[in-house]
Chains A and B, each alone.
Chain A
């Protein structure tokens, strides 16, 4: 019989502080990226809820985190991505950019509305790749870890997405 978490929890407990405060300190450097990814995936209104839900889940699973399989940043971002796919956040893809306020930061900053609209019309996988790389600021390798695919798949997905965006924007213009 093998265990999904007890061993790791025990292993970490030996030499690490597992308190909520220690967890908060551990995740704090990654909060901006987590918030950015959540904002892209579910919109600004639900961003904080998704981040807190993801943090709760990460806290429960902290003992299973294995640094050999990826960085803390990609581990946390993958949890955010998974949390954003839950049905209660699914209403996001149907939103439209009819009001600028729906675009995060839209009222105070220049927003390329056509580009945002074109991105939101992309298939989910392409949209996630574009969001991760250009808006969250992840590398290709980090994006691959978040999406659960290989680097090559991310590159080809980005290429296809850019091609589709180019076509869409050329037609609309």
Chain B
């Protein structure tokens, strides 16, 4: 045992002995939800909306031409929608998340734009459009379905993130968009850790890339085949409120490749 280790051991023991008793669990604080700072904003938004409707609608009726030209193309019919109910913002009330195609490519219907909408349990609604490069349902390739999505705590901040498949590529390769709720309860994208986007995939010959969510961090695990197995590179990132901060990295050679998908609670079957 080196000098510094014994010094640390001694300091740690003495520090622990000097610690006061831990606090008791404050049961009154357990059920307390976060402050609802969005209420003034919601009220202001509602007032603006009412005024806008009261002013714009009469103007539209009075105009010689309708506000929308009859020749403008109608939005394509939504082939299907996917609805999911869960408390996303952490206020204890169930929110309804809906994914629905809003636009398709003329030549490739599996490409287009999907709208992610949230109807909050406490009232209010927000939405975000996600561009889909390709979505072919592995369970039913003949039918155009809504891209798979899931919810999980990706950035270790209260509330869940929505993970939407944006490209269902060859083999197991997939890319995703990850959306989170801002303090103003607006959906916004979460940038990926690293430079390659939110990507997962695995194949025998080329290696694997995946993510593992922890309580305080996310691990990006990539592996490539080498002579005696796989070189697995694990990088740990912490979310600092606006971006990922690289925390540590580790390389090791092992016989099995690393994960090639999401290892996050709620996203295992994504």
Contacts and interface: CB of A to CB of B under 8 A. Distances in A.
Contacts of A115: 7-8, 11
Contacts of A169: 4
A109 B18 contact: yes
Nearest to A77: B215
Contact of B248 (A52, A61, A137, A153): A153
B192 interface: no
A4 B27 contact: no
B18 A148 contact: no
A81 B247 CA distance: 14
Given A23-B25, A52-B26, A166-B4, A57 B158 contact: yes
Given A8-B265, A27-B25, A75 B215 contact: yes
Given A78-B215, A112-B7, A157-B248, A4 B151 contact: yes
A1 B27 contact: no
B40 interface: no
A12 interface: no
Contacts of B236: 147-149, 153
A66 B86 CA distance: 19
Contacts of B216: 78-79, 81-82, 85, 146-148
Contact of A130 (B8, B82, B250, B252): B8
Interface in B26-60: 26-27, 29-32
Give the one of A134, A137, A147 with max B CB within 10 A.
A134
A140 interface: no
B148 interface: yes
Contacts of A23: 25, 30
Given A134-B12, A152-B252, A59 B18 contact: no
B142 interface: no
A71 B231 CA distance: 29
B206 interface: no
Nearest to A156: B250
Interface string A125-167: 1000010001101000000011111101100010000100110
Nearest to B26: A52
Contacts of B12: 134-135, 137
A116 interface: yes
Contact of A134 (B9, B149, B241): B9
Given A4-B86, A55-B26, A78-B214, A64 B19 contact: no
A152 B254 CA distance: 14
A4 B160 contact: yes
B267 interface: yes
A51 B23 contact: yes
Contacts of A60: 90, 92, 158
A78 B213 CA distance: 12
A24 B22 CA distance: 13
A143 to B, nearest CB: 12
Given A56-B30, A79-B215, A82-B216, A109 B8 contact: no
Interface in B133-175: 148-153, 156, 158, 160
A4 B250 CA distance: 28
12 contacts: A1-B82, A2-B151, A2-B266, A2-B270, A4-B265, A24-B24, A60-B158, A78-B216, A105-B19, A108-B18, A135-B15, A165-B4
Given A35-B23, A150-B234, 7 more contacts: A2-B150, A31-B24, A81-B215, A125-B248, A145-B214, A148-B217, A149-B217
Interface of A: 1-6, 8, 20-21, 23-24, 27-28, 31-32, 34-36, 39, 44, 47-48, 51-52, 55-57, 59-61, 64, 66, 69, 75, 78-79, 81-82, 85, 87, 104-106, 108-112, 115-116, 125, 130, 134-135, 137, 145-150, 152-153, 157, 162, 165-166, 169
